C-alpha cells in the first residue's frame, strides 16, 4: 500500500497573505505592481499611473531601466514567463499623458485619495506621505534646511520626501547636470535625457534647490554643511571605476568604463581607437560596449561625442561563463545583435603596451574557478591557456565604488569602517549626530530602486532626528469577498508580450534612438491580463465544507489536496491548531484541505464547483498608517 506523501503545513496569517503578492513584496519601495498591472488590464490608466507613482518619485524612469525585482519574483514566472511588469509601468506613464508632473503636490494628494479608497495595497512608503495630508494630524517640519550631497536617485528621492515633510532640502552636485549616474551612467538609447530632466524639474518645482558644479571638500567642507544645516544626507553614488590590478593598466588608452560613459553623456573628449576591449560582465560593461559601437548620423555630433568613425570592433571579456553572467539576458542578446564579440571565462593577465606606453593589445587567461571553497571571490586560472586580443583601447567595467575623499574621519568626528565606508546604525545614521547616508554610499552598488528606497528611509530618519518625533507604523489587513469575480478568457495560456525593438542596423546609428519601444495598447492589455492577481485568494469556510473533494478534482493546477492531518509537520501555529482539533474530534481521524498557494492561478473554478458555497474568492487588502500618538500637533 502506497504511503501518503508528507507535507509541511502552515496556518496563513497577515504576513503570509502579504508575501503572496510577490511582486510588491520584492520591491524595495513596495510598489503594488499587481495593482497597476490589473488596472491596465481593466483600461484604467489613471489608476495605474497613481498606483505606480505612489511610493516612487522616479517611477517614469523605473519604467525604462529598473532592474525589476518585482518581475524576477513574479509568480507567473514559475508557470511560463513572468509578466512584463517594467514595460507595463512604462506604458502607464507614457500613455497617461495629461498628468502634469510639475504639479507634484496635486499628484501626491490624488495618490493619497486613491489609497484611501483601497484601490490598491497599502505601503509604509505611501503612508509616510499620505499622513501629511490627513487633516494636518502629522507634525510637519517648519522649513528647516537639510543638505543632500549627491543628486542621484537616492538624493532625489530623499529631497522629494523631505520637502513633503516640510523641510527645505538643498542638493549639492559636483557635476554640471543633476541626476548623477542616471544622467551620466545610463546611455540615452536606454534612458533619454529629456525624461530625466522632466523628473528633476518636477522635484525642483516642489521646492527643492539643486546646486550643481559644487564639490564637497573643495568648494565647501562637510563640517561647514553640518554647521549650516539642520541635518545632512550623504547620497554620493558609486561613480568611481575600480582599477584593473594587472600590469599595463596605467597605459595610454586604458579608461574606466563609467568615465567613458560620463564623457559621452557630457559630450567631452575621450578618444577611442579602432579595436576596443571591454573588461567586465555586468550591465555597465554592456552599456560601455554598446555605446562604443554607436554612431551618430550628423558628423558634427559624432565629433562632439567622439565615437570615432575608426572604431571597428568591440570585444567584451568576462570571468563568468555565459550562463552565469551578471548582465541581464536582454543586454547580452542585444549586444550580440549589435556586434559585441563576447569572450566568456577569460580574465585579464596583462595589458600589452608599445614602446611609447600606448595600448597595443591585451592578454587573457582561462578561468578555472571564480570563488574559493568558502564562496569568496578568488579566481584561479589555467596559466597555459591564454588569449591575446589586438587592441588600442581598453575600457574597464569591473565595478564601481563611492569616493569619500571629502571625509576626514578625525577632523569631522565620523567613524569609518576598515573598508573606508561609513559606520552606520539601522537608521542610516553615522556616529556624528545629524549626518545620514543613503544609496550606494550606504549599501554599495545595487539597483536604482534600492537607492530610491534608501533615500526615502534616510528622509524619515532626518524627520525623526530634527523633529524629535518617531515615525511608527500600524498595519491592518483583511479579505473582502468578490461576488462577481471572473478572469479574462484564456488568460492562463496567453504568451508574454515583449516590447518591440529597433533593428540593430537602425539603433546603432545614434545614441538617442530608443532600442526598446513602448508597448502598444492592445499588447499592453493582453500582457496585463496574464497577471495572476496574487492579492486574490481562495478562502475556505470550515463550517460549510464537508470534504467532498470536488475542489481537488477540478483544480487544473493540482494545488488542492484532501489529506489526513495526522503525521504532517508545520510551524507552532499548525501544531497548536491540530492539538485543538484533535480534542474536538474526540479521537476521530482528522482530515482537511491543504493548498499550495505558489501553484494557484486564481482561476476560481474551485469556488464555482463547491456544492455548498464553502469557497469564496476574496481579495486581501492591507494598509499601513502612521501611528499618530506622538505626532499630534
Buried b (16+ CB within 10 A) or exposed e, 86-115: bbbbbbbbebbeebebeebeebbebbbebb
* 342 and 413 together in one domain: no
Which three cell numbers mark 527? 500582457
The pLDDT value given to residue 580: 59
> Can you name the residues that pair with 241 across neighbouring β-strands?
400
Tell me, yes or no, whether 181 and 248 share the same domain.
Answer: no
* Structural domain contains residue 502: no
Same domain flag for 371 and 268: yes
Q: What share of the chain in percent tops pLDDT 70?
A: 86
pLDDT at residue number 307: 42
Task: Please give the Cα distance from 540 to 459 (Å, whole number).
Answer: 43
Nearest-angstrom CA–CA distance, 144 and 183: 29
Residue finishing a domain among 374, 396, 418: 396
Tens digits of residue pLDDT in 23-60:
999 999 999 999 999 999 999 998 899 889 889 999 99
* Same domain for 425 and 307: no
Question: For residue 539, what is the domain's CATH number?
Answer: 3.30.70.20
Structural domain span for residue 544: 532-630
Q: Which residues of the chain have pLDDT under 70?
A: 1-7, 97-105, 108, 112-122, 127-138, 295-310, 565-589, 627-633
Residue 264 sits at the vertex; the CA angle it makes with 259 and 267, to the nearest 5 degrees, is: 120
- The H or E element that residue 223 is part of is helix 222-228
- The answer to whether position 283 is within a domain reads yes
Residues 295, 225: one domain? no
β strands within 460-542, DSSP E: 473-481, 536-540
Give whole-number Cα distances, 419 to 197, 404, 423, in Å.
35, 11, 10
3-state helix/strand/coil string of 235-262: CCCCCEECCCCCCCCCCECEEEHHHHHH
> 322 and 233 share a domain?
no
Name the 3-class secondary structure at 538. strand
Per-residue cell: 495: 504568451
Q: How many domains does the structure of the chain reveal?
A: 3
> Nearest 5 degrees, angle CA 109-CA 114-CA 118?
145
Are residues 312 and 172 part of one domain? no
The secondary structure of 258-311 as a DSSP string is: HHHHHHHHTT------SEEEEE--SHHHHHHHHHHH---SSHHHHHHHT--TT-
pLDDT of residue 180: 95
Task: Output the pLDDT for position 179.
Answer: 97
For residue 370, the domain's CATH number is 3.50.50.60
251 & 335 share domain: yes
End of a domain among 445, 468, 491?
468
Angle formed by the axes of helices 283-293 and 257-265, nearest 10°:
50
Spatial contact of 199 and 57, defined as CB atoms under 8 Å apart: yes
For position 299, what pLDDT does the model report?
35
* pLDDT value at residue 132: 61
Residue 480 is assigned to a structural domain of this protein: no
pLDDT number for residue 470 = 85
Domain co-membership, 425 together with 344: no
3-class secondary-structure state, position 281: coil
Note whether 373 and 442 are same-domain residues: no
| DSSP 8-state class, residue 133 | G
pLDDT in tens, 51-90: 898 899 999 999 999 999 999 999 999 999 999 999 999 9
CA atoms within 13 A on the CB side of 236: 22
Which residue in 158, 266, 259 sits closest to 210, CA to CA? 158
- Indicate if 328 and 433 belong to the same structural domain: no
Report the pLDDT value the prediction gives residue 74, as an integer from 0 to 100: 97
Do 286 and 331 contact (CB within 8 A), yes or no?
yes
C-alpha cell at position 559: 494545488
Alpha-carbon distance of 356 to 253, in angstroms, equals 11
Task: Specify the pLDDT at position 631.
Answer: 39
In this structure, the number of other CB atoms found within 10 A of the CB of residue 494 comes to 16
Q: Does any domain span residue 149?
A: yes
Domain boundary among 396, 423, 455: 396
Q: Are 205 and 315 found together in one domain?
A: no
Query: Which of the 8 DSSP states describes residue 422?
Result: B
| Within a domain: 426 | yes
Amino acid at each position: 500500500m502506497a504511503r501518503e506523501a508528507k507535507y509541511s503545513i502552515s496556518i496563513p496569517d497577515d504576513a503570509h497573505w502579504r508575501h503572496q503578492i510577490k511582486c510588491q513584496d520584492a520591491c524595495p519601495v513596495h510598489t503594488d505592481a499587481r495593482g497597476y498591472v490589473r488596472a491596465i488590464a481593466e483600461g484604467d490608466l489613471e489608476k495605474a499611473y497613481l498606483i505606480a507613482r505612489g511610493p516612487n518619485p522616479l517611477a517614469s524612469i523605473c519604467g525604462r531601466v529598473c532592474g525589476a525585482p518585482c518581475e524576477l519574483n513574479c509568480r507567473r514566472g514559475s508557470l511560463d514567463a513572468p509578466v512584463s511588469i517594467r514595460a507595463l509601468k512604462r506604458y502607464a506613464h507614457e500613455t497617461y499623458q495629461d498628468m502634469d508632473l510639475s504639479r507634484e503636490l496635486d499628484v501626491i494628494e490624488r495618490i493619497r485619495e486613491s489609497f484611501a479608497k483601497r484601490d490598491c495595497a497599502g505601503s509604509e512608503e505611501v503612508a509616510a506621505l499620505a499622513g501629511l495630508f490627513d487633516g494636518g494630524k502629522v507634525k510637519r517640519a517648519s522649513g528647516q534646511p537639510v543638505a543632500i550631497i549627491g543628486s542621484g536617485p537616492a538624493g532625489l528621492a530623499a529631497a522629494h520626501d523631505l520637502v513633503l515633510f516640510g523641510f527645505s532640502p538643498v542638493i549639492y552636485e559636483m557635476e554640471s547636470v543633476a541626476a548623477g549616474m542616471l544622467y551620466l551612467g545610463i546611455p540615452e538609447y536606454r534612458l533619454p535625457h529629456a525624461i530625466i530632466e522632466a523628473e528633476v524639474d518636477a522635484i525642483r518645482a516642489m521646492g527643492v534647490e539643486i546646486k550643481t558644479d559644487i564639490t564637497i571638500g573643495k568648494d565647501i567642507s562637510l563640517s561647514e554643511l553640518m554647521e549650516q544645516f539642520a541635518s545632512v544626507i550623504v547620497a554620493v553614488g558609486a561613480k568611481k571605476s575600480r582599477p584593473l590590478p594587472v600590469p599595463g593598466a596605467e597605459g595610454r588608452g586604458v579608461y574606466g568604463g563609467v568615465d567613458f560613459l560620463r564623457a559621452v553623456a557630457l559630450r567631452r573628449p575621450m578618444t577611442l581607437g579602432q579595436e576596443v576591449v571591454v573588461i567586465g560582465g555586468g550591465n555597465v560593461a554592456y552599456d560601455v560596449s554598446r555605446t562604443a559601437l554607436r554612431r551618430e548620423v550628423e558628423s558634427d555630433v559624432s565629433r562632439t561625442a567622439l565615437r570615432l568613425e575608426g572604431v571597428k570592433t568591440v570585444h567584451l571579456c568576462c570571468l563568468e561563463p555565459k550562463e552565469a553572467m551578471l548582465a541581464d539576458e536582454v543586454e547580452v542578446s542585444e549586444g550580440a545583435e549589435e556586434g559585441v564579440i563576447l569572450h566568456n571565462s577569460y580574465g585579464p593577465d596583462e595589458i600589452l603596451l608599445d614602446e611609447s606606453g600606448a595600448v597595443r593589445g591585451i592578454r587573457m587567461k582561462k578561468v578555472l574557478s571564480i570563488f574559493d571553497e568558502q564562496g569568496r571571490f578568488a579566481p584561479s586560472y589555467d596559466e597555459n591557456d591564454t588569449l591575446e586580443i589586438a587592441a588600442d583601447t581598453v575600457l574597464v567595467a569591473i565595478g564601481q565604488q563611492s569616493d569619500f575623499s571629502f571625509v576626514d574621519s578625525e577632523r569631522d568626528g565620523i567613524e569609518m569602517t576598515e573598508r573606508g565606508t561609513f559606520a552606520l546604525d539601522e537608521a542610516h545614521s553615522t556616529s556624528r549626530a545629524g549626518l545620514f547616508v543613503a544609496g550606494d554610499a550606504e549599501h554599495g552598488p545595487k539597483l536604482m530602486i534600492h537607492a530610491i528606497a534608501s533615500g526615502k528611509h534616510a528622509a524619515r530618519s532626518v524627520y525623526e532626528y530634527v523633529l524629535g518625533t518617531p515615525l511608527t507604523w500600524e498595519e491592518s489587513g483583511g479579505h473582502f469577498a468578490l461576488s462577481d469575480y471572473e478572469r479574462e478568457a484564456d488568460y492562463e495560456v496567453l504568451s508574454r508580450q515583449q516590447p518591440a525593438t529597433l533593428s540593430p542596423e537602425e539603433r546603432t546609428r545614434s545614441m538617442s534612438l530608443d532600442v526598446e519601444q513602448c508597448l502598444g495598447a492592445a499588447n499592453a492589455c493582453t500582457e496585463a491580463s496574464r497577471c495572476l492577481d496574487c492579492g486574490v485568494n481562495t478562502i475556505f469556510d470550515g463550517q460549510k465544507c464537508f470534504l467532498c473533494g470536488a475542489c481537488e478534482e477540478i483544480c487544473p493546477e493540482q494545488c488542492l489536496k484532501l489529506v489526513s492531518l495526522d503525521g504532517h509537520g508545520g510551524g507552532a501555529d499548525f501544531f497548536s491548531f491540530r492539538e485543538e482539533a484533535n480534542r474536538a474530534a474526540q479521537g476521530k481521524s482528522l482530515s482537511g484541505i491543504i493548498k499550495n498557494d505558489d501553484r494557484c492561478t486564481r482561476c476560481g473554478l474551485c469556488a464555482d464547483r463547491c456544492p455548498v458555497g464553502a469557497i469564496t474568492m476574496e481579495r486581501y487588502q492591507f494598509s499601513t498608517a502612521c501611528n499618530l500618538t506622538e505626532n499630534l500637533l
